[in-house]
A and B are shown apart, each in its own frame.
Chain A
């Protein structure tokens, strides 16, 4: 079984400041981890993913995340926030990519607000 905890349902940062969105996971096997972004009235778009290769993962729009097994964490960061980053962010985990393990379990999401 697997689960995801996202600390902070709302995060506000000033434009140009560091963005840090937290995600901790629980998994019975080495996990696959994902960050998705959702803009209003849209579906989910993949930002980045960890699938057992490099632990520091770079994604789109300047975001990156680091897989830390010892901390069971996969926090999302961006050095400098932009107004267009305002959205809802979801962390998700799966047990792998084979049939039966590929299902995603999502966190409750973090709404990111950018202060001008």
Chain B
């Protein structure tokens, strides 16, 4: 595997379910991010982890719970979601402090809440 991978690619869940999204980066980066992409809205940064420590939580509801067990893995735990949470969830990674900085994105998980 290369780059940033995300599983599953598609997920349908009921409002009472609990599920998790997984992201893995194979680039040796020191920061990882969760974004939400909804129709007709700009990409929303949800969480930032730098050196495995959460450094930002952009007023995300508590029904979204991130976890970063090491620098290569990032999870987004989901519980009691609402239909408006249906969106494409994108994971990204980067090497912070790099002069040639950029963020690398995974393919996303398309989440549908029924």
Contact = CB atoms under 8 A, between A and B. Distances in A.
- Chain B associates with chain A: yes
Interface stretch (B13-21, B73-81, B105-113): B105-113
Interface string A75-116: 000000000000000100010111110111111110000000
B105 A45 contact: yes
Interface residues of B, number: 29
A32 interface: yes
Given A34-B102, A42-B107, A46-B102, A103 B45 contact: yes
Contacts, number: 60
B12 interface: no
B98 A104 contact: no
Given A43-B107, A43-B108, A107-B42, A97 B90 contact: no
Interface string B64-97: 0000000000000000000000000010101011
Nearest to B91: A43
A102 B101 contact: yes
A103 B42 contact: no
A51 interface: yes
B42 A109 contact: yes
Interface in A54-71: none
Contact of A97 (B41, B101, B108): B101
Contacts of A28: none
Contacts of A96: 101
A97 B48 contact: no
B100 A51 contact: yes
Nearest to B56: A103
Contact of B97 (A36, A97, A105, A109): A97
A10 B42 CA distance: 14
Contacts of A94: 101
B45 A108 contact: no
15 contacts: A34-B102, A43-B90, A44-B105, A46-B103, A94-B101, A97-B98, A98-B97, A99-B50, A99-B55, A102-B96, A102-B101, A103-B45, A103-B56, A105-B45, A109-B42
